[in-house]
Amino acid sequence: MTTTALAGETMSTPIDDPYPLPPRRRPSPLALTGLALVYLILGIPTLVVLIVVTVAIPFVALGIGVPVLVMFVPFLRQLARIHRYFASQVLRTPVPSPYHPRTSQGVKIVVQDWARDPARWRDLGWAYVSTTLGWLLSLIPVTLLLGVVWFAIFPFIYWVTPAGVFDMDWWVVQVHDQQSSFSMWIAAGVCALVWWLLTPPVSRARARLDLGLLSPTRSELERRLIEVSASRSETIDHSAAELRRIERDLHDGAQARLVSLGMSLGLAEQLLTTDPAAAARLIEEARATTTSALGDLRSVVRGIHPPVLADRGLVGAAQALSLDIAVPTSFAAVVPGRAPEPVETAMYFAVAEALANVVKHAHASAASVDLSYDGMRLRAVVADNGDGGADPAAGTGLTGVSRRLAAFDGTMVVESPAGGPTVVTMELPCVLSSPKTSPSSETD
């Protein structure tokens, strides 16, 4: 069983709009006018989405508006994201995503999540402002540039039109014949000067208008800072616990065997001249102890970074996990490249913990693992047909998975109604490297 995103919208992470800033050189008035033209064009779909969403909201209580919102709210978010990106480029200001991470799946539940997210309502308010005041601001540079072009080609227009059509008397500029039509170039120069001086501040005003409505509020940024601090503290605690575990494993396992090995070799050295047979037996035991100590060391190293993960990547390692558990598990993966090593390690152990929960608690007869990448996020979906009732808040292993993912700005969504099925969706934002040779298949 796999889960899919609704209407092309993926579950958001705390920051999913990492806009690269442009060079320090400010955009030229011509580039800003081109951007204003893009704003005017985008105003059309924004107006359509605004009308549809506004009409659909009152009908949500009747259930009629829910499918409409599922279709158009993600579209409104993408339009807002485009404008947020343009504003960040004009003002050279990095803009984090204001949206709350989605904590559930299913059409009605997701719409409820949207309703509780202030950023979604700000998107709607921004759409009203963008299609009115924002559209008029964008119209100014385009109109001025069109005026420059019109006045510049006016002599030609006057020449090809019947006499008297474009005769005019404008104080300084008077047009009564072909020769006087060239006086319109004065108006072209004035219009060009106004366009050159007015376009940058108008464009910045439009960008500030968008960012003022589409950026996270101060309270949201403070909340996010608290979440990041808590996640960092949990990560530090987790790292300290891992170091203690490694120290304990080395002390109780490999170290004890190596001490025993040293004692056996010392006794063998003493008996070598008096009782060669006993010395040989001690040396044989020492060799067996050496093998056991190597096994303990490999086990410790495997807990730090599994060799299969280094050799075959996340896809191959996760496939090996799904083939190794007692519950029959199908596997599918479409990951066109390798994620950074820390991300792969975090996702590997998250999948391993989710599969361990399937074996220990789910009483399932079948499970599935699905890996995918949507261009921004690495996603793993672990599902089973067991009893359900999994609750991360109960302090199970899923709590540790959530902490591990949160350290990388990742999310975990658990759907586990009583009676099953259970679907655990884990996401990590990352950028894949060039495709490597790794398995990408489906195994039943």
Residue 224: pLDDT band with limits 50, 70, 90:
low
pLDDT over threshold 70, residue 231: no
pTM of the model: 0.54
CATH superfamily to which 307-429 belongs = Histidine kinase-like ATPase, C-terminal domain (3.30.565.10)
Distance CA 214, CA 80 (A): 7
Residue 370: pLDDT band with limits 50, 70, 90:
very high
Return the pLDDT at 11.
41
Q: Mean pLDDT over residues 279-284, rounded?
A: 78
pLDDT over threshold 70, residue 108: no
Return the pLDDT at 6.
44
The CATH number given to 219-304 is 1.20.5
Q: Over the stretch 337-349, which tens digit does the pLDDT of each residue have?
A: 888 888 888 888 8
138 or 401, which is more confident: 138
Return the pLDDT at 162.
79
Return the pLDDT at 82.
92
The residues spanned by each domain of the chain are 29-216, 219-304, 307-429
Q: Over the stretch 9-48, which tens digit does the pLDDT of each residue have?
A: 544 434 344 455 555 567 889 999 999 999 999 999 999 9
* pLDDT above 70: percentage of residues in the chain: 75
By the 10 Å C-beta count (0-12 exposed, 13-18 middle, 19+ buried), 428 is classed as buried
Return the pLDDT at 301.
58
Residue 160: pLDDT band with limits 50, 70, 90:
confident
Q: Mean pLDDT over residues 358-385, rounded?
A: 87
